[in-house]
Amino acid sequence: MAPSHPSTHSAITLHINGEKYSLSVDHRTTLLDALRERLDLTGSKKGCDQGQCGACTVLVDGRRTVSCLQLAVAAEGREITTVEGLADGERLHPVQQAFLDLDGYQCGYCTPGQICSAVAVIEEHAAGWPSAATGDVRPEAGPPPLTAEEIRERMSGNLCRCGAYVSIVRAVARAAAEQSTTEAAA
Ligand code: FES
Ligand code: FES
């Protein structure tokens, strides 16, 4: 009798930007390839395909994830947000708007990953998470000021070959300031 081989494919359902997508994937398919090649969600970009550039960054359960290193099968049941899911209808997310207003890009290839990362950076900072640039990491010290140094450190997993960093830092700072003003007024 011929030996039976385990299937190399699984039927999975991914929750992306509030929608459910059912598909059959090879177990080795990365989340990035599933998004781009199978679901036509091409906003997330493939830069290095080995976890070094951040171009493929998406949010998984609100946390930043390099989707080229995440298997699609492991993302089943998680809430995935890609750059396509950030805007509210025709209204851009404040981070998107800040990148647009302040020229936070040149070629734009790294931009979707930069924007997804920045959305999470602002949340992480507001929640009091320290970074390697934070001087006083005691919980009672509260969130450090979101200085350019803090932003650069927190965004350091996202590379920009064009070198648009100066504008990216300004855009993240403006979006963070807007968010804290909105939250203070609420
Ligand atoms: S493509 Fe995923 S980190 Fe570069
Ligand atoms: S804008 Fe070109 S790589 Fe960042």
**How does DSSP assign 119-182, residue by residue?**
HHHHHHHHTT---TT-S---GGG-SPP--HHHHHHHTTTS--TT--HHHHHHHHHHHHHHHHHH
Ligand 1 near 64 CB (within 6 A)? no
**pLDDT of 29:** 98
- Closest-lying ligand to the alpha carbon of 162? 2
- Closest-lying ligand to the alpha carbon of 56? 1
pTM score, whole prediction: 0.94
- Ligand 1 binding pocket mutation candidate from 31, 48, 82, 111 (most atoms within 8 A of CB): 48
* Residue ranges of the chain assigned to CATH 3.10.20.30: 9-82
What are residue 17's phi and psi, to 5 degrees? 50, 40
Ligand 1 near 110 CB (within 6 A)? no
Compute, in angstroms, the gap from residue 126 CA to the centroid of ligand 2.
27
Q: Which of 47, 80, 87 is nearest to 63 (CA)?
A: 80
* Residue ranges of the chain assigned to CATH 1.10.150.120: 94-185
**pLDDT of 116:** 98
Ligand 1 near 55 CB (within 6 A)? yes
Query: What are the 10-residue block averages of pLDDT along the chain, 186 residues in total?
Result: 76 98 97 98 98 98 97 97 97 98 97 98 94 90 91 98 97 95 80
Please tell me the class of the 94-185 domain. Answer: mainly alpha
Q: Which fold has domain 9-82?
A: Ubiquitin-like (UB roll) (3.10.20)
Instruction: Report the C-alpha gap between 154 and 141 in whole angstroms.
Output: 18
State the closest ligand 1 atom to the C-alpha of 48, by its place in the atom list counted from 1: 4
**pLDDT of 138:** 87
- Closest-lying ligand to the alpha carbon of 50? 1
Report the pocket of ligand 2 as residue ranges, CB < 6 Å.
Answer: 105-111, 160-162, 164
